[in-house]
A and B are shown apart, each in its own frame.
Chain A
């Protein structure tokens, strides 16, 4: 299977509660909480599209779109 190619981190800022689970468990340290305690993809080029953030988000607030 070909390596998935990242299209975008789709983040719903209304739904994100800033719990930090995705930030903590990201294996490549891609995600961060911003000054409003909402998740942002600070280092998107390091993303390997493992989708662990998407699967563990309690708020269904982050989705990894791949090509």
Chain B
């Protein structure tokens, strides 16, 4: 398999549970990178903490496994010192939007060129199934045994409002679309956000009686629709997937270069 050239095989089989959607995200990400024909040396994968963040250990690129919620901050440091590298930042929903919520919105606001992947399984899996900011009203979790009364963020709306110049969503069922979107996001110059609905059969699925991993993927098939479709108008409960925003904006590192030039004018 050609994509096996991009992984650290010595760490496989990986630690993710049977049927975990994060493995499918890894699978799709490797295929996107393979299709782009990128070399291992031009990619940096930076992750934080959580099930999702273990992904950085499995890929054979430059990798940083950093601290909870701060993957984007570390990635910003790497990108500003080596702007020629391609930054990919896979995060969990809690990692990206609770612990790292501030880093997330400000990275989007700055439009720094990197690809943030929000692997949304709606729960904190690694620590035992606590509810996350994407669990949503009425769901069950270890820390919400009588149902959760917090409303969920909409990652796409949040990223759009914060100013991200590329915003997309897909699921682990729609793997071909996911690979295509990841390719687009990596090529996009600016801050790209890709939310991936990713099943956690062990905690979210079990607590909320969502069945097997395959059942949860069937749910993604039945309850999502392409962005702007007629089906969404008829049934507003459907979750839209596809590319929501793709716009050209001045990129942060390039603008910073100009500042350096301006400041250094007349001096060597």
Contact = CB atoms under 8 A, between A and B. Distances in A.
Q: Are A and B a genuine interacting pair, yes or no?
A: yes
Interface residues of B, number: 30
B7 interface: yes
Contacts of B27: 55-58, 60
A1 B136 CA distance: 46
B143 interface: no
Given A19-B19, A60-B4, A24 B214 contact: yes
B177 to A, nearest CB: 11
Chain B at the A interface: mostly helix, strand, loop or mixed? helix
Contacts of A57: 23-24, 27
Contact of B175 (A10, A14, A17, A55): A55
B135 interface: no
Contact of A59 (B14, B179, B212, B217): B14
Interface string A33-67: 00000000000000000001001111111010000
A55 B31 contact: yes
A8 interface: no
Contacts, number: 73
A17 B18 contact: yes
B94 interface: no
B79 interface: no
A21 to B, nearest CB: 5
B213 A19 contact: yes
Interface in B1-55: 1, 3-4, 7, 12-14, 16-24, 26-28, 31
Contacts of B26: 58, 60
B214 A21 contact: yes
Given A19-B18, A19-B19, A21-B213, A59 B175 contact: no
Contacts of A24: 212, 214, 217
A56 B175 contact: yes
A20 B213 contact: yes
A63 B17 CA distance: 20
Nearest to A10: B1
